Amino acid sequence: MSGQSTTRTVPGSSGPGGARAGGRTGQRLSNLAVALGMVLFLGGFVWGAVVYRPYTVPTTSMAPTIGAGDRVLAQRIDGADVRRGDVVVFEDATWSNAPMVKRVVAVGGDKVSCCQDGKLKVNGKEIDEPYLPEDTVTGFANFPEVTVPKGRLFLLGDERSGSVDSTAHLTDAASGTVSRGAVRARVDAVAWPMDGMLEAPTGFEQLGALSSPGPLRTVVALVIGGAVLVLGGAAYGPVAKRAGASRARANAGTAGVR
């Protein structure tokens, strides 16, 4: 039968059925990646919306940490969880009818005063505050020692010379302090412009533990990771299908002919 020829598929090569199987596998992987990505993406957004609130800071009282017009993300917390050094959002009728942003420098039972050697003093210890403007020493407003009542907070702006803070309310019945219950949230980061997480107030560590950052980094990682999976999964299906078809055509062209 020397005049006849036969064609055989090389063992292990992918024919049309193999291409279809590869396409189905690629599509399943693509769908899985998209589904997982959507869960992470939406889950991150929902988590962030539950835990954080955005605020716009209208003044320069917290400069240079937070500038006028900056958008911040503040974690919803209970006032009982506030610690020294925290930048908080609070509302107090005697201060303003709008949310205000200041830094907590003393809590109930603390003795706070200013200034010796241009530094704030809390419970007899000078506090190093590297987040303050460079000219803060010359702009510091002196005030006599204040004993913070239990359950209350003493707050200052980082722009000490121009901030309307506890020092402007020293003649009030509460000596310029604010109730812990007035706190609505703790600022974690400046979202716009994207300056990132606030600097840790390490100068207050000598007085006690600092607050731990909120889950903002994890939330952002979930959102970004989810977006990558959605985009990658959506692109993988068509790419895998075309690649499978190309392999099938290539294998068909190299099939054995005898």
Q: Which positions are annotated as active-site residues?
A: 61, 102
Q: Is the dihedral of CA 12, 15, 19, 25 positive or negative?
A: negative
138 burial (CB, 10 Å; 0-12 / 13-18 / 19+) is: exposed
DSSP at 174:
T
Is the sign of the CA dihedral 35, 37, 40, 46 positive or negative? negative
β-pair type (71-76, 183-192): antiparallel
Distances (CA, A) of 170 to 76, 107, 162, 177, 189: 28, 15, 16, 8, 30
DSSP secondary structure, 107-132, as one string: ETT-EEEEEETTEEEETTEEEP-TTS
Residue 163: which of 100, 117, 115, 106 has the closest Cα? 100
Per-residue CA distances from 55 to 97, 99, 187, 192 (Å): 15, 9, 9, 10
Query: Interior CA angle at 236 toward 235 and 240, to 5°?
Result: 130
Amino acid letter at 127? I
